[in-house]
Amino acid sequence: MGKGRLEAFSDGVIAILITIMVLELRAPHEADASALRPLAPVFLGYLMSFVYLGIYWNNHHHMLHAAREVNGRVLWANLHLLFWLSLVPFTTSWMGEHPLTTAPVALYGFVLLMAGVAYFFLAQALVAHHGADSPIAKAIGSDRKGRISVTLYVVAIAASWWAPWLSLAVYVAVAAMWFVPDRRIERALEGDGTG
């Protein structure tokens, strides 16, 4: 079975998710610049979620690029990933309204955690279909970054009970780890996540 439609469908869903989040940024009724200040946490939340969805799109792009074809299990593993990503606008909106409160910050991390786990299942489904010696299995490898991310999300969720700002810092750090292709940062963060 060809992978073209799975890519096109995932592109469509991620493109829509990235764009409907901006609907949360409602234009203020006042016309002066200070009216934008209350929007700052919503805007920063949008920026972070945009970067996270961009990272998922990039990684999805790379992983599927290495795949030859897909099967039914891969289709559902992909839909499972898209389901968790589809909740990002909801958690972004809640956290944007309460940027330093336990429940919204923890839920934001929980959805990232589940998306990370879903991505791992998708990778497993692709490796199972192509074989352990296939190029895609080598491209995915041990998926160290993915495992560090999942660990850090758990840490961030736990931290949200006593210091939500620390959870936010962890979310930013995980995004930076994926964004900046620097092996030293990755290793530094690994030490952090397991410490």
- Kindly list the residues in this chain that would bind a copy of itself in the complex (CB under 8 A): 1-2, 5-9, 11-20, 22-23, 25-29, 31-33, 35-36, 47, 50, 54, 57-58, 61-62, 65, 72, 75-76, 79, 82-83, 86-87, 89-90, 93-94, 96-98, 101-104, 106-107, 179, 181
Q: Which of 105, 88, 183, 171 is nearest to 145 (CA)?
A: 183
93, containing H or E segment: helix 88-97
Q: Is 64 helix (H, G, I), strand (E, B) or coil?
A: helix
Question: Of the two residues 12 and 194, which places its CB atom closer to a copy of itself in the complex?
Answer: 12
CA angle 9, 12, 16 (to 5 degrees): 145
Identify residue 62 by its one-letter amino acid code: H
Q: How far is CA 68 from CA 2, 4, 63, 99, in A?
A: 8, 10, 10, 42
Supply the minimum distance, in Å, between the C-beta of residue 107 and a copy of itself.
Answer: 8
Question: Of the two residues 75 and 137, which places its CB atom closer to a copy of itself in the complex?
Answer: 75
Question: Of the two residues 90 and 121, which places its CB atom closer to a copy of itself in the complex?
Answer: 90
CA angle 137, 70, 75 (to 5 degrees): 110
Supply the minimum distance, in Å, between the C-beta of residue 187 and a copy of itself.
Answer: 20
Supply the minimum distance, in Å, between the C-beta of residue 86 and a copy of itself.
Answer: 5
Question: Of the two residues 45 and 193, which places its CB atom closer to a copy of itself in the complex?
Answer: 45
First to last CA, the chain: 44
Supply the minimum distance, in Å, between the C-beta of residue 72 and a copy of itself.
Answer: 7
Question: What gap in Å lies between CA 117 and CA 112, rounded to an integer?
Answer: 9
Supply the minimum distance, in Å, between the C-beta of residue 152 and a copy of itself.
Answer: 21
Supply the minimum distance, in Å, between the C-beta of residue 23 and a copy of itself.
Answer: 7
What is the sign, positive or negative, of the torsion defined by CA atoms of 144, 150, 153, 157? negative
Question: Of the two residues 103 and 188, which places its CB atom closer to a copy of itself in the complex?
Answer: 103
Question: Of the two residues 92 and 151, which places its CB atom closer to a copy of itself in the complex?
Answer: 92
